[in-house]
Structure 1
Amino acid sequence: MRRWQCVLVSLPLLLLAACVPPQAVRVKGDAGLFKAQLAREQLLAQTRHWSLQGRLGISNGKDGGSGSFSWSQNGEHYEFTLRGPAISGMNFRLTGGPEGAVLEGVEHGPLRGPDAEALMRKALGWEVPLRDLRAWVLGMRADSGPAELSFGENHLPSLLQQDGWAVDYRQWDETRQPPLPTKVFAAMPPYKVKLSIESWQFQ
């Protein structure tokens, strides 16, 4: 094999190695850390109108991709838009609230149903924990069941384990009060969801 071919073969491996983050420092929470986290969650729970933009990557162990996304939450109503071939090569828009959900941009759509997660499963075959993700993306425990928390050196959540998912908080915007996550990786084998949040807006 020629030298330049060896370089081309080796380059993706080197890039992947360069992207692997150092092992995070994680500690079990003490009374002070959990008290501060509870105060964060109580404050953020009162924030019912927010939006974010960023990049999303998703994989089911065999197929996957990435794209840009936006998410708006207005009380119990939401709008989630994905642009790019992140899931099945489609762009789609998911909207809904207590009355049900609508998934547009998919084959034979739009699809309607009482549950957004069930719509995603039916239309795309993907398991995405949208209900819990609404809390996780804010750095909060969801109200769906018991959760285990570990904290980082910044005294903010580093790893959240809930409903079979491991939510890894890789980066926070600590200039905000309260601080907000900017890199969130959630995994429940074989599924992986990676969010890189570029901007937050609150009303």
Structure 2
Amino acid sequence: MTRLFLPLIAAALVAGCATAPQATSTAPVAAYRDTIELAGRISVNYQHNGNPESLSGKFDWVQAGQRVDVTLSSPLGQTMAKISVTPDAATLTQTDKQPRTAKDIDSLTRETLGWQLPVAGLRDWMQGYATAQDGSRYTASPANPTVTTRDGWRLRYVSWQDGTENSAHPQPKRIDAERSATPTSDELAIRIVIDPPA
């Protein structure tokens, strides 16, 4: 995917339009759900063999209990990779290639795509939750939009779904996630923009 995907993708993902300032809600997001279906856009900036790389495209996310299925597509909608994650294993399938399986999705995506897709974190992040550095449960709100997670990701909830910022349970729209380089992984920045609910 690292070489097949890159020529087909745009260089950057454009954020939504600015809106007039409004009162900022302090209300937390809705209760966590084990079963969700989300779609949107993803933009990734990462290092590959010491060189900066970037990609953008679309994603579909289907979560049912402990299973997560993710489809990554080019900006034009061509399926580039399918990822299935269960508590026992992770499988990644690319176009015209044999499926690859590993114990965890982090190592599988890093080896196959050249960057790590943090599926375990995204299960929480896309619903406005995370595990903070001190191990406590973080709940996002427009008034409390940033956190550093226990595994070193810096999250920022940049915007909220139209009409929900001042509602009782605002829903995330754009999430920026960044992680500094470590001895076992390179610097990585991921931007997620979630489509409005159907």
- TM-score, scaled relative to structure 1: 0.67
User: Which structure is larger by alpha-carbon Rg, 1 or 2?
Assistant: 1
Report the CA distance shift for 1:148/1:95 in structure 2 as closer, same or farther (over 3 A).
closer
Report the CA distance shift for 1:128/1:188 in structure 2 as closer, same or farther (over 3 A).
same
> Number of residue pairs matched?
167
| Alignment RMSD (CA, Å) | 3.8
1:181 corresponds to 2:181: no
Distance 1:50 1:150 in 2: 18
Shift of 1:133: 1.8
SS at match of 1:120: helix
Q: Which has the higher strand share?
A: 1
1:84 match: 74
User: Which structure 1 residue ranges, 5 or more long, are not aligned?
Assistant: 1-17, 22-32
Contact 2:124–2:130 (Cα < 8 Å) also in 1: yes
Q: Which has the higher helix share?
A: 1
Amino acid at match of 1:56: I
Distance 2:170 2:46 in 1: 30
Contact 1:150–1:159 (Cα < 8 Å) also in 2: no
Please identify, of 55-64 and 107-116, the stretch whose mean Cα deviation from structure 2 is larger: 107-116
Shift of 1:116: 1.2
**Within 5 Å, which residues of 2 pair with 1:36-75?**
37=28, 40=29, 43-44=31-32, 47-61=33-47, 62-75=52-65
Amino acid at match of 2:175: V
Shift of 1:181: 0.4
2:148 match: 161
**Within 5 Å, which residues of 2 pair with 1:1-203?**
37=28, 40=29, 43-44=31-32, 47-61=33-47, 62-84=52-74, 91-105=80-94, 108-142=97-131, 146=135, 154-155=142-143, 157-162=144-149, 163-173=151-161, 174=164, 178-189=169-180, 190-200=187-197
Give the percent of matched residue pairs that are identical in Structure 1 and Structure 2. Answer: 24
- TM-score, scaled relative to structure 2: 0.69
Shift of 1:149: 6.4
User: Which structure 2 residue ranges, 5 or more long, are not aligned?
Assistant: 1-14, 19-25, 181-186
Amino acid at match of 1:146: G
Distance 2:120 2:173 in 1: 19
SS at match of 2:196: strand
Q: 1:21-79: per-residue Cα shift (whole Å, max 9, x none)?
A: 8xxxxxxxxxxx6xx64xx57x21xx211011111000115101100111010011111
Shift of 1:124: 2.1
Report the CA distance shift for 1:107/1:188 in structure 2 as closer, same or farther (over 3 A).
farther
Distance 1:144 1:104 in 2: 33
